[in-house]
Amino acid sequence: MNLGDKALIEALLLYGAIAGAVYALLALGFTLIYGVAEVVNMAHGALFMLGAYMFFAFSLAPKNPPLWIASPFALESGWALIVAIIAVGIVGSIIYVLVINPVIKDALASIVVTVALAIVFQQAVYIEFGGVHRAVFPFVEGSTTILGVTMTYTKLLAFGASLILFAIISLFIGKSKIGKAMRATAQDREAAMLMGINTTRICMFTMFISASLAALAGILISGSTTQVATPQMWLTPLSMSFAIVILGGLGSIKGTLIGAFIVGYAENAVALYLPGGSFLKGVVALAVMVSVLLIRPKGLFGKRIELEE
Amino acid sequence: MAATYLKRAYSSFLTHVVDVPPRLLSLLFLVLLVCTPVILSPTALSIYFLGVLITANIMAIFAASWDLLVGRAGQISLGHAIFFGIGAYTSALLVRYVGFPLWITIPIGVAVGTAVAVPIGFPCLRVKGPYLALVTMALPLIATGILYYFRDWTGGEQGLVVPRFFPFIENLYQQRVAEYYLTLLVLLISSIILYKIASSKTGIVFVSILDDEVGAKACGINVTKYKLLAFAIGALFASLAGSLQAHLIYLAGPASFSLSLSFYAIIITIFGGIGTIYGAIAASYIIYFLDQYALTMVVKVPTEWHPLIFIVVVIIFVVKWPRGIARFVVEDGLKELSKEREIEERGKRIWKKYKKKKDEKMKASQ
């Protein structure tokens, strides 16, 4: 990043905010499926990656870039976005029913199975699209200058869309009937089952939302920040969502939002201020996560104390 | 004197090894492994095949150490590769910058790996279950970030080039054979140690922590101490595997910290049967034989399909059949066999007794 010292603080402010908003969206899905089904979904990053690739596969090829392959389903950006999100959501529900639900009681088995799924998706994408970086193009052209920092419209769009969607999802969980059923399942699975809630179906639906959010975050991040998609890109968002969710407290939506902004700012501060800091960008989030787990394992807003049974 | 001793050793070998089907099977497998280089002729294919077996030996140590930590002590670790990487890099850095010979750096690498396990393990083991999995998974990623940050020392993405084990052997085939026997010997020793630990009193304490930590605590077991011990033992053998591997591929690279390496140990262990140390070792050979030889040389499946196939198999194993292959062979197959034989012998004994009684009755009646 080529910035003068004067613009540094403004850049940090803006980049941190954008990163925080998109990370909040990413981590919301992770925290939802943990809260409702008590599954630590290690395949969350893979769904993120799958989202970016689905968008890539469904969308219309632009003029003549070398890294773009001709798509059989050439859709407009908006439609491609919706189709990709729904497709990944359906993939998420299918893997929940087929693979995660049978082992949901066993912590080790569910972790191993979801990491395995992540690697399955990585290999499947690798076989289908190849290991090369695929360019993901911004959906909106043009840029503007805010506080002396150049901002592309895509980044602003990602920021706005993330915050609006976050608000919609948290309202949905708080107010709607399905949201109430989700919260009931999260509180006590057996009791919810006795009250006539089909908990498996609720968990499946939660997985659908969670996977769709991961896919959307994947499309937004790969479209606005990195602009490439690779089969190995699932690990960074996964560790990011861990860090955020653990910082905010597993299963807490408010904590997720605050944790996402803290991690977003911390990461950008390290990248901007430390020499060679971009190598440590991913490390910051993980270091935050490890230190939170060791000092205050329930996170900032977590209710459960996980040290006891 | 010597003759009686030998005779006694022979008879104890017969009763303790030959008469127990699982032990006989592992003995036969060991004999097969020892004989492999003798059977092979020095061609390019057999050099490749020996390379596959060497990797299988190393990964067997690594997977068995993961199995002791996770399958026995129940401490879910997804970042076991950190000790592998620490072993590899310590050995490589010492060779490169201090100039120690290999035979000193590998023990130092192992010692450093084990020593690092204690300060890493002490805070990590405060958390449980999925949280422990997350923290341990983060550790190698942090280590990789640090590795790239100090790229002037560690070589960054390229890693460090390290000398091979037997620089004085010119012939590549002979060198492979020497490396093969070395790794086989190390594997044999470490697997015996790991199995002995797992079946010792300490091993039983590990299983009690896995089954019910609170109960173990209530019985007066110092849970933290034993968890830390399991962590240190796991780290010891993982860093041994790491430092050996670095000298076998002549490179200590960031791949030795990768998630896929940690996950390969998990694949192997689950395939073999989690919690059985021997399962991980047997599965290491099966998986490497299938992956690098059968699917590459015989069936010729494209390389990128291999992880997909194995991982789908592992998912099926976890979901449908968590007992694993070794348990199936040893507990269901061979133990059934020995049980049958026992029943047969008991039947014969009872029949003899019955016959004797009958004869006596006959005599009495006459």
Domains in chain B: boundaries: 57-259
Cα B324 to Cα A109: distance, rounded to the nearest angstrom: 13
User: How confident is residue B136, by pLDDT bands cut at 50, 70 and 90?
Assistant: confident
Q: Is the pLDDT of residue A277 over 70?
A: no
> Above pLDDT 90, what percent of chain A?
7
Query: What is the distance in angstroms between the Cα of B158 and the nearest Cα belonging to chain A?
Result: 15
CB proximity B142 to A under 8 Å: yes
Averaged pLDDT, B188-212: 90
* Chain segment A189-212, per-residue pLDDT in tens: 888 889 888 888 889 999 999 999
Cα atoms in the 13 Å half-sphere on the side-chain side of B97: 11
Q: Which of A103, A120, A127 sits opposite B312 (nearest CB)?
A: A120
Structure-block tokens of residue B361: 């009755």
User: How confident is residue A278, by pLDDT bands cut at 50, 70 and 90?
Assistant: low
Q: What is the pLDDT of residue B127?
A: 77
Single-letter code of the amino acid located at A49: M
* Across A283-297, B58-72, B131-145, least confident range: A283-297
- What single DSSP character describes residue B290? I
The DSSP-derived string for A119-133 is: HHHHHHHHHHH-SSP
Residue B241 has a CB neighbour count (10 Å cut-off) of 32
Which residue in B312, B334, B261, B274 sits closest to B58, CA to CA? B261
Q: What is the pLDDT of residue A138?
A: 66
The residue that leads in pLDDT, A62 or B179, is: B179
Q: What is the pLDDT of residue A306?
A: 37
Residues B291, B306 contacting (CB under 8 angstroms): yes
Averaged pLDDT, B316-338: 74
Cα B137 to Cα B118: distance, rounded to the nearest angstrom: 17
Q: Give me the phi and psi of B127, to 5 degrees please.
A: -100, 160
User: How confident is residue B193, by pLDDT bands cut at 50, 70 and 90?
Assistant: very high
Q: What is the pLDDT of residue B56?
A: 93
Q: What is the pLDDT of residue A5?
A: 56
- Cα distance from N-terminal residue to C-terminal residue, chain A: 47
Q: Which chain B residue shows the shortest CA-CA distance from A294?
A: B123
Q: What is the pLDDT of residue A74?
A: 60
Write down the mean pLDDT value for chain B: 85
Q: Which chain A residue shows the shortest CA-CA distance from B136?
A: A290
Q: Give me the phi and psi of B314, to 5 degrees please.
A: -65, -40
Most confident of A101-110, A204-213, A245-254: A204-213
* Chain segment B16-45, per-residue pLDDT in tens: 777 777 778 888 888 888 888 888 887 888
Interface test with A, best of B311, B312, B316, B321 (most A CBs within 10 A): B311
Q: What is the pLDDT of residue A303?
A: 57
Write down the mean pLDDT value for chain A: 79
What's the whole-model pTM score?
0.82
**In this structure, is the dihedral angle defined by the CA atoms of residues A200, A201, A204 and A206, taken in order, positive or negative?**
negative
Averaged pLDDT, A55-83: 63
Cα B68 to Cα A259: distance, rounded to the nearest angstrom: 36
The residue that leads in pLDDT, B311 or A305, is: B311
Q: What is the pLDDT of residue A308?
A: 33
Q: What is the pLDDT of residue B309?
A: 85
The residue that leads in pLDDT, A154 or B78, is: B78
Structure-block tokens of residue B295: 């699917």
CB proximity B355 to A under 8 Å: no
Q: Which of A117, A127, A297 sits opposite B305 (nearest CB)?
A: A127
Q: What is the pLDDT of residue A187?
A: 82
Q: Is the pLDDT of residue A1 over 50?
A: no
* Chain segment A119-169, per-residue pLDDT in tens: 888 888 888 777 777 766 666 667 777 776 677 777 888 888 888 988 898
The complex scores an ipTM of 0.74
Q: What is the pLDDT of residue B352?
A: 86
Q: Give me the phi and psi of A66, to 5 degrees please.
A: -70, -25
Structure-block tokens of residue B301: 């499946």
Which alpha helices (DSSP H) does chain B contain, by range?
Answer: 2-13, 21-39, 44-66, 81-93, 102-124, 129-149, 151-154, 172-199, 201-211, 213-218, 223-248, 259-272, 277-288, 305-320, 324-327, 335-365
> Above pLDDT 70, what percent of chain B?
97
Cα A71 to Cα A68: distance, rounded to the nearest angstrom: 9
Cα A208 to Cα A204: distance, rounded to the nearest angstrom: 6
Q: Which of B145, B213, B266 sits opposite A283 (nearest CB)?
A: B145
User: How confident is residue A67, by pLDDT bands cut at 50, 70 and 90?
Assistant: very low
Averaged pLDDT, B321-349: 73
Residues B109, B264 contacting (CB under 8 angstroms): no
Kindly determine whether residue B307 and residue A127, on different chains, have CB atoms separated by under 8 Å.
no
Most confident of A81-85, A135-139, A296-300: A81-85
Averaged pLDDT, B268-288: 87
Residues of A with CB under 8 A from a CB of B: 40, 99, 102-103, 107-109, 111-113, 115-117, 119-120, 123-124, 126-127, 235, 239, 242, 246, 276, 279-280, 282-283, 286-287, 289-290, 293-294, 297, 306-307, 309
Averaged pLDDT, B272-288: 87
Q: Give me the phi and psi of A2, to 5 degrees please.
A: -105, 95
* Across A98-102, A291-295, B134-138, least confident range: A291-295
Kindly determine whether residue A120 and residue B138, on different chains, have CB atoms separated by under 8 Å.
no
Q: What is the pLDDT of residue A63?
A: 44
